[in-house]
Amino acid sequence: MLSSNFLSHNFMTTYSVLLCFILCFSSLSVSTSEILYLPLTHSLSNTQFTSTHHLLKSTSTRSAARFHHHHRKRHLQNHHHRQVSLPLSPGSDYTLSFTLNTNPPQHVSLYLDTGSDLVWFPCHPFECILCEGKAENTTISTPPPKLSSAAKTVNCQSSACSAAHSNLPTSDLCAIANCPLETIETSDCQSFSCPSFYYAYGDGSLTGRLYHDSITLPLATPSLALNNFTFGCAHRALGEPVGVAGFGRGVLSLPAQLALFAPQLGNRFSYCLVSHSFNSDRVRLPSPLILGHSDEKDRRVNKDDNVQLVYTSMLDNPKHPYFYCVGLEGISIGKMKITAPEFLKRVDREGSGGLVVDSGTTFTMLPAGLYNSVVAEFDDRVGRVYERATEIEDKTGLGPCYYYDTLVNIPSMVLHFIGNKSSVVLPRKNYFYDFLDGGDGVRRKRRVGCLMLMNGGDEAELSGGPGATLGNYQQQGFEVVYDLEKRRVGFARRKCASLWESLNQG
């Protein structure tokens, strides 16, 4: 019988961040650079959605599925470079390209996900059940690659095997792998491979095996190669056609493994997401993913900006240790500050509470009490000016929505995190999306705008998991910094589309 690991993670909505890495046969090879930059590329399909309503409804449904899945399952989880950067391209999906160590090279695409802690991708032969209509873009629809002859299975005594199986004891894993009793007792099971693992996501799942191989990030500035990298290879999935690059706090995540090779690169990373666009023709410039930290980089990109990072401390979650949890003190709508419930300010022993900063969820999910208070205050200010668009709310799963001719009188929104001077002012586009409705011969064209927050459910329903999630839609236009060494998350307003050019000057 296979041991199961239920890593709570909704497969990143249509607007999720997609990460691609290049796996190849090279030994560890890093230059003396202090920082690495990598690009994320946009991959929104023009054919996947029939309308803006359809696209928003799909995204809101996936955001809700991912958030609530966190409460249904419980689980675990000496070099001179200081920073690596990759470009992330803008839009709803953010992608990187990576190539497997084969001849000829094979490309693989992965979603960047701070809400899980395993790097995995589909491998040949691959069967995906109920995957019709998903991942239609050509960037992520290439045939699943075959592993190279250099790829080695992880043995059942490995700590990586234990981590993938919810930290089961080595003896249990060796027994599952059919290791003979006498070799289990003598701790001599090196020749037995780690059993298959099972991961469940918000709207899908997979079974896979762990392997070691070299990986290279050739699109990084500078390029980076790592030996003996651990990843999952999946031959069967349910609703999961694309792999995931876990950036969570677990030992199998990409930052954690990177820290073993180059601590300066693994103890801090950030990304800067160019504003969401639901039209792939409008997205042009990449968004940077930055691995590591460099004071020289900060001086270079900040010389013309009045950039100030706002930090809040990470909270430990004993039941979901891979989450980046922070405390939320309240939300201001205009001049009215709405205090958050106490369970959003901390995490208890059962893993309940706090707010998770998650690149893999699109829209921010709030507990019902706080959500209703925010909506009531927002509607009190906006509803007196604009007509409520209830039919749009039904179609999109979002609300409140309003019809308008000229958009004015939209109140400001501020997120107040725990800590002194830890408030983040959101630009209007981060919480209010406007688009054109009608013009289909049935209804006249009208402008409509919706509040881009969602109701996560009653506090009782959220027991045993995070109380709220900060989605990537609310993170757009910010550099979001995950400082693992100082255990804090930071936010700074940036012009993300031009940040990549600033980072690569010289």
Separation CA 316–CA 354 (nearest Å): 9
SS3 242: coil
213 is catalytic: no
**Is residue 265 within 8 Å of residue 257, measured between CB atoms?**
no
Q: How would you class 295 by CB atoms within 10 Å of its CB: exposed for 0-12, middle for 13-18, buried for 19 or more?
A: exposed
**What sign for the dihedral angle of Cα 465, 252, 116, 271?**
positive
Separation CA 208–CA 231 (nearest Å): 10
Cis ω before 104 (30° cut-off from 0): yes
**CA–CA distances in Å: residue 294 to residues 335, 422, 503, 504, 505:** 37, 23, 11, 13, 14
Task: State the amino acid at position 472 in one-letter form.
Answer: N
| Catalytic residue chosen out of the listed positions 93, 117, 203, 358 | 358
- What is the DSSP code (8-state) at residue 459? G
Q: What angle do helix axes 295-302 and 496-503 make, rounded to 10 degrees?
A: 120
**Is residue 268 within 8 Å of residue 36, measured between CB atoms?**
no
**Is residue 232 within 8 Å of residue 193, measured between CB atoms?**
no
295 is catalytic: no
| Catalytic residue chosen out of the listed positions 113, 117, 437, 483 | 113
> Which residues pair with residue 19 across a beta bridge?
110
Question: In what helix (H) or strand (E) does residue 182 lie, and over which residues does it extend?
Answer: helix 181-185
Joined tokens for residue 79:
């070099």
Separation CA 118–CA 374 (nearest Å): 35
Cα pseudo-dihedral 244, 249, 253, 254, rounded to 10:
100
Separation CA 17–CA 88 (nearest Å): 8
Residues marked active site are found at 113, 358
